[in-house]
């Protein structure tokens, strides 16, 4: 079987999840504060997460083309299909962009003209952090990515018509397009991440942040690939994909989970060592108010995949891979949650004039060491009273929204899969992929 | 140690070698060893070799390295010689992590090398007889131990080499 078609049951399930997502977003919108911070931050969180996954699918596809890699060819249509989701990503981000222009949401502190005027740091950054730049990066740059995604897919489908072992399309066109995309995508994605995520904590910056986000997306993309392959195999497609392909995907999940941890730790340790208030505030906030997510993030995204996927045989077992990849995928979603939510909450507090939160923290720092106990008690009191549903921990509404977006993503890429044969029979590297042996 | 009498056949091609080894296994011939100038894909399962356990040793050595670094630095910075660096607490775990990582890698790699040499009886001063110099270049070799082996058994081996297309058959005492 080489031609995928969505069956009625799949449509029903996916549409029910999408409706669930919409209902959850609707409820979030109603129960929200006056800025609808929870609704908008959920929207941004999921849009960014899935758009990034689509982008990373394209990056990895192009990197594999450049590297003359063959192992992935049998299921490369999956990544082509994921990359097409960039189109939906543009639409989703357009909603956020419109919100920035018309002040429908207050996700970004720099979007508030009054704050910028009274804030030296925000003013200094306003050359990059302003609605015009945000629009350029969210829509035009992502549009350029989408253009490359359609180009790579069109070439791949064009190749289905050539003779066997005909390298002409691969060598003359695909390689050229892929080698242009890698630097373009690589450099622009960093700026896009600064705009979309890092600028939520508008006063704070980290030079490592873009890599860290990218790898989070990359691991998520690999997890989705594994889960999709397992599902499609269970439906009888991709019988050519065997334990050897899963072994290689497992090695990627393992390796990049370790790399993610490396970047996470590098960012944390430099800020911890430097001990500059402007920088440590980012981690102080998360350690004090989000301890479960902060440490849980490390356990789920590093300790678990590290020890489970360290062994040779676990990477070759589809059951183990399915469980680990589901957990790690959710773990990286929570990672983005932890990047986005505290900053949004903080901005909302600032704009609502609550300010009390930061004043309290300042007071706690000012207390001399002898009064540490008092300060601790105060911090605890602050801690207990600071639980904000939908921010301190992902609630049911957040999970429902995630499922809705995930269903949209799955539905969209499955529609793309329907439009071309699943296995590219005429790819010059197809034989290498069909006879792939790892051990 | 008593010298070994080895009967070996040289093959020109890895595919021929793989078929030959397969035949030997089905005929229950007791292969002493197979030599090749490069790792032949799929040879291990045909030879019936079990998976190497060197990586399990590596994990244990790595763990020892982790604990060594962590416990040593904990002892130094809290008990033996506490110094304040940059206003940090004595027991500053984030600062230990790079060193913990380095010692994990160091212990795992050196431990695995030493284990490998010890298990295989290799090391400085150990002589390593080569059956035929061309095995390191372009020949593939299947070897049988024929020390004190009955003549008719040796004939079976000779027959096997003829049938499976060995280009040369030789004996050597090592």
The 10s digit of each residue's pLDDT in A312-324 is: 889 999 999 999 9
DSSP state of A169: I
Using a CB-CB cut-off of 8 Å, the residues of chain B touching A372 are none
Q: Specify the pLDDT at position A371.
A: 43
pLDDT of B129 above 90:
no
Look up the pTM and report it: 0.89
Confidence of residue A114 (pLDDT cuts 50, 70, 90): confident
Closest residue on chain A to B94 (Cα)? A269
- Kindly list the structural domains of chain B, giving each domain's residue range(s) and its CATH number in brackets, ordered by start: 5-49+132-173 (3.30.70), 54-120 (no CATH)
Closest residue on chain B to A274 (Cα)? B86
Q: What is the full DSSP assignment across A184-233?
A: HHHHHHHHHHHHHTGGGSTT---TTHHHHHHHHHHHHHHHHHHHHHHHHH
Residue in the block written with tokens 């005492």: B173
CA distance A22 to chain B (A): 42
Chain A (265-304) residues lying within 8 Å, Cβ to Cβ, of chain B? 265, 268-269, 272-273, 275
pLDDT of A384 above 80:
no
Task: Name the strand (E) or helix (H) holding B6.
Answer: strand B5-11
A310 interface with B at CB cutoff 8 Å = yes
CA distance B94 to chain A (A): 6
Instruction: Answer whether residue A199 is part of any domain.
Output: yes
The 10s digit of each residue's pLDDT in A288-304 is: 989 999 999 999 999 99
Q: Specify the pLDDT at position A407.
A: 97
Using a CB-CB cut-off of 8 Å, the residues of chain A touching B41 are 437
**Alpha carbon distance A138, A39 (integer Å):** 20
CA distance B9 to chain A (A): 27
Q: Would the CB atoms of B86 and A437 count as touching at under 8 Å?
A: no
Number of domains in chain A: 1
DSSP state of A303: I
Q: Would the CB atoms of A273 and B97 count as touching at under 8 Å?
A: no
Domain boundaries, position A161: 8-421
Q: Give the SS3 label for residue B171.
A: strand
Residue in the block written with tokens 């019936």: B48
Instruction: Answer whether residue A349 is part of any domain.
Output: yes
Q: Would the CB atoms of B59 and A310 count as touching at under 8 Å?
A: yes
Instruction: Answer whether residue A429 is part of any domain.
Output: no
Instruction: Answer whether residue A228 is part of any domain.
Output: yes
Q: Is the ipTM, as predicted for this complex, more than 0.95? A: no
Whole-number Cα distances in Å, A251 to A5, A202, A217, B53: 30, 36, 16, 19
Q: Specify the pLDDT at position A374.
A: 45
Instruction: Answer whether residue A186 is part of any domain.
Output: yes
Of A269, A310, A312, which has the smallest distance from its Cβ to B94's Cβ? Answer: A269
Tell which of B94, B96, B108 to mutate to test the A interface (max A CBs under 10 Å). Answer: B94
pLDDT of A361 above 50:
no
Confidence of residue B126 (pLDDT cuts 50, 70, 90): confident
């Amino acid at each position: 079987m080489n031609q995928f078609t969505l069956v009625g049951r799949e449509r029903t399930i996916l549409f029910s999840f999408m409706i669930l997502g919409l209902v959850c977003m609707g409820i979030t919108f109603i129960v929200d504060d006056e800025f609808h911070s929870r609704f908008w931050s959920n929207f941004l969180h999921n849009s960014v997460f899935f758009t990034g996954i689509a982008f990373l699918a394209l990056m990895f596809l192009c990197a594999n083309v450049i590297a003359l890699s063959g192992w992935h060819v049998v299921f490369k249509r999956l990544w082509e299909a994921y990359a097409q989701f960039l189109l939906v990503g543009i639409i989703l981000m357009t909603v956020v962009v419109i919100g920035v222009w018309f002040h429908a949401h207050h996700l970004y502190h720099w979007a508030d003209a009054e704050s910028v005027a009274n804030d030296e740091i925000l003013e200094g950054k306003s050359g990059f952090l302003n609605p015009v730049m945000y629009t350029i990066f969210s829509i035009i740059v992502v549009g350029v990515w989408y253009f490359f995604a359609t180009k790579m897919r069109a070439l791949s489908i064009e190749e289905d018509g050539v003779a066997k072992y005909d390298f002409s399309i691969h060598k003359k066109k695909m390689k050229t397009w892929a080698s242009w995309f890698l630097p373009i995508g690589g450099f622009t994605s960093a700026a896009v991440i600064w705009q979309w995520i890092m600028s939520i904590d508008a006063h704070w910056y980290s030079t490592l942040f873009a890599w860290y986000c990218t790898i989070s997306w990359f691991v998520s993309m690999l997890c989705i690939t594994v889960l999709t392959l397992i599902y499609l195999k269970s439906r009888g497609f991709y019988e050519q994909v065997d334990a050897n392909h899963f072994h290689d995907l497992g090695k990627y999940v393992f390796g990049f989970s370790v790399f993610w941890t490396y970047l996470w730790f590098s960012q944390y340790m430099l800020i911890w060592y430097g001990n500059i208030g402007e920088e440590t505030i980012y981690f102080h906030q998360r350690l004090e108010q989000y301890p479960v997510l902060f440490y849980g993030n490390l356990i789920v995204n590093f300790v678990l995949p590290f020890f489970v996927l360290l062994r040779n045989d676990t990477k070759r077992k589809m059951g183990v891979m399915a469980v680990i990849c589901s957990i790690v995928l959710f773990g990286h979603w929570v990672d983005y949650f932890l990047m986005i939510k505290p900053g949004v909450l903080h901005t909302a507090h600032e704009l609502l004039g609550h300010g009390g939160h930061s004043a309290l923290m300042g007071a706690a720092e000012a207390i001399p060491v002898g009064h540490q106990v008092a300060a601790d008690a105060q911090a605890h009191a602050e801690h207990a009273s600071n639980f904000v549903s939908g921010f301190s921990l992902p609630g049911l509404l957040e999970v429902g929204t995630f499922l809705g977006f995930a269903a949209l993503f799955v539905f969209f890429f499955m529609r793309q899969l329907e439009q071309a044969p699943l296995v590219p029979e005429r790819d010059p590297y197809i034989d290498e992929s069909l006879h792939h042996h790892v051990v | 140690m008593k010298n070994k009498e080895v009967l070996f056949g040289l093959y020109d091609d890895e595919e021929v070698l793989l078929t030959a080894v397969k035949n030997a296994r089905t005929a229950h011939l007791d292969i002493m060893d197979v030599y090749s100038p490069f790792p032949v894909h799929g040879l291990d399962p045909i030879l019936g070799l079990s998976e190497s356990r060197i990586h399990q040793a590596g994990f244990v050595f790595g763990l020892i390295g982790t604990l060594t670094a962590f416990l040593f630095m904990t002892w130094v910075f809290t008990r033996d010689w506490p110094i304040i660096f940059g206003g940090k607490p004595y027991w500053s775990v984030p600062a230990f992590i790079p060193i913990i990582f380095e010692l994990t890698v160091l212990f795992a790699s050196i431990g695995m090398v030493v284990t490998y040499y010890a298990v295989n009886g290799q090391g400085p001063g150990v002589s390593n007889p080569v059956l035929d110099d061309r095995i390191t270049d372009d020949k593939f070799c299947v070897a049988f131990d024929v020390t004190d082996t009955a003549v008719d058994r040796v004939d079976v081996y000779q027959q096997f080499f003829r049938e499976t297309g060995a280009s040369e058959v030789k004996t050597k005492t090592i």
